[in-house]
Structure 1
Amino acid sequence: MKTITSLLSLLLLTGCTSGNAQEQHGTIKAPWDEWYFTFSTPKALPAQVTLVKLLDTDGYGYVFRTIDQPQGKSVGTWSQYIGKGYSPFNKAKSPPQMIKFCWDSIIDKKVYETTLFFSRDTQHKMMSSEPDWANPKETYYFRYMVIGLAPKGKVRVWLQNNGNPNLLLTSTQITTVSGKDLDMCAGVTNSDFNYGYDDDIKEFIKDKKYPYGSW
């Protein structure tokens, strides 16, 4: 943990000069070229991710400012099949040690800062494979991560699971803060929370009790 924290501190001091990932160190040989992470939100309870920093298992540091934004249709609780698979922006070479990101919860009218620390079990699972459910002659790798962002700053993480319900990564350490506890995300936002809700949000939350489901 001390090594990860030291590398994270170095990563957070590293600037970003483009919209895509910035690599800092070397690589390891993975059974795939890249893995992907996407974000999801419940239906009509939107959020926007504004900044992502990632440290992978080989010491690569990535900074993302151009981000494949959350999409989702879950109502009341998370669907077992959320996630888009490939992403044109959110990708890395080796499994993650940690991901730290800033996100605007439009429904909460708050900025949140979330840190995810991943276990070796998750990293090993991402390097494993099995026959693809749609075509057994093809190989399926568990390299598609989904991060769910819900009201009250609730965050969950899954791996998509070869045609089966997503695998909830229960060993992931998840910490989310807001307000005066923001660090990396202090002053980082793309949202005007004084604007109010769009009509589709107003219609969806009408007569519902916050936080509009169990997340």
Structure 2
Amino acid sequence: LSGMKRVLLAVSLLIFLAGCTSRPAHDPLRPPPPDLPYRTWEIGLLAPNYMEVWVESVDVLDRRGIGYYRVHGGLASIQNPPDNRGDPRGWPARPGGGAARPMTGIDLPEIVFVRWQSLAEPQTYRVRIDIPGWVREEMIKPQAAYCAWRDAHETQYRDLITVGLAPGGIAKAWLIGPCLEPIEIGRFVGSIHPDGPDEGRTNGRYALPLAPEAQQYIDGHGIPFDSW
């Protein structure tokens, strides 16, 4: 990073720690809206079958060097087929968007930070996902797409970053468009959060119990840590 970007990153991280404060629309310090070919991009969250995840916080540092704290969170998208009919090993060839939320007013991302509770273990992790420049270029590149489900040809953008979160602190990110092939951004290894769930505010208590189908699978098959 350049010297200026290092300063912006340090300032933004301080904003993350202090929490965000909103500014009125007429405030001259309010950043201008991003110059994008669409209204907003999105972040989606998913987890392998049965490996339930509660996301405490998604934070974004955008390409302007502006930090946004707690822009997403909650349950990651997951499937828990009954009678152990699901398979949590590995990632799907074509991941879906997951539990998505628009990043309205946020410019294209440079870094995405995620803090989450892996309820299957249980354990709390945090990870930094660096978004390369080629990803941002791809996000604003119009693509010819064919949507088979409605037999339509149209122009689309890959404007959704999906983050898969798995036990062991593993995160994987893809760039997705509605009717476009997903592009893998990378695999990232997080670290255990030393303060535990909710940064120590819940005395070690996790957000939710596992669903019965998830508990049944883990009791019978364990957690396939090496598959992600």
Deviation, structure 1 residue 131: 1.9
For the pair 1:169 / 2:185, whether they are aligned, the reply is: yes
Deviation, structure 1 residue 45: 0.7
* SS in structure 2 of the partner of residue 169 of structure 1: strand
**Mean Cα deviation higher: 112-121 or 126-135:** 126-135
Do the aligned partners of 1:37 and 1:87 also contact (CA within 8 Å) in 2? yes
Deviation, structure 1 residue 122: 0.8
What is the rounded CA distance, in whole Å, between the counterparts of 1:89 and 1:191 in structure 2? 31
What is the rounded CA distance, in whole Å, between the counterparts of 1:89 and 1:128 in structure 2? 19
Deviation, structure 1 residue 187: 2.9
* Aligned partner (choices 158, 161, 168) of residue 152 of structure 1: 168
Match of 1:79 in 2: 92
Do the aligned partners of 1:36 and 1:85 also contact (CA within 8 Å) in 2? no
TM-score by length of 2: 0.75
* SS in structure 1 of the partner of residue 113 of structure 2: strand
* SS in structure 1 of the partner of residue 75 of structure 2: coil
**Structure 2 matches for 1:34-113, cutoff 5 A?**
34-64=40-70, 67=73, 69-73=75-79, 75-84=88-97, 87-88=100-101, 90-91=103-104, 93-113=106-126
Q: Which structure would you say has the larger Rg?
A: 2
Query: Residues 159-188 of structure 1, C-alpha deviation per residue, up to 9 Å, x if partnerless?
Result: 114535421113x7x3511143x69x7436
For the pair 1:33 / 2:47, whether they are aligned, the reply is: no
Query: Residues 87-108 of structure 1, C-alpha deviation per residue, up to 9 Å, x if partnerless?
Result: 3455554210001121111012
Match of 1:203 in 2: 216
TM-score by length of 1: 0.79
Do the aligned partners of 1:145 and 1:160 also contact (CA within 8 Å) in 2? yes
* SS in structure 2 of the partner of residue 76 of structure 1: coil
- Structure with the higher helix share, 1 or 2: 2
What is the rounded CA distance, in whole Å, between the counterparts of 1:118 and 1:205 in structure 2? 33
Paired AA for residue 216 in structure 2? E
What is the rounded CA distance, in whole Å, between the counterparts of 2:204 and 2:96 in structure 1? 24
**Mean Cα deviation higher: 53-62 or 97-106:** 53-62
RMSD (Å), alpha carbons: 3.2
Match of 2:131 in 1: 118
* SS in structure 2 of the partner of residue 152 of structure 1: coil
Inter-CA distance 110–5: structure 2 relative to 1 (3 Å threshold): farther
Do the aligned partners of 1:103 and 1:189 also contact (CA within 8 Å) in 2? no
Deviation, structure 1 residue 210: 2.6
Deviation, structure 1 residue 53: 1.4
**Structure 2 matches for 1:173-188, cutoff 5 A?**
174-180=188-194, 186-187=199-200
Inter-CA distance 41–191: structure 2 relative to 1 (3 Å threshold): farther
Inter-CA distance 108–189: structure 2 relative to 1 (3 Å threshold): farther
Paired AA for residue 12 in structure 2? L
Deviation, structure 1 residue 113: 1.0
Structure 1 residues not aligned, in runs of 5+: none
Match of 1:11 in 2: 12
* Residues matched between the structures, number: 206
Do the aligned partners of 1:55 and 1:61 also contact (CA within 8 Å) in 2? yes
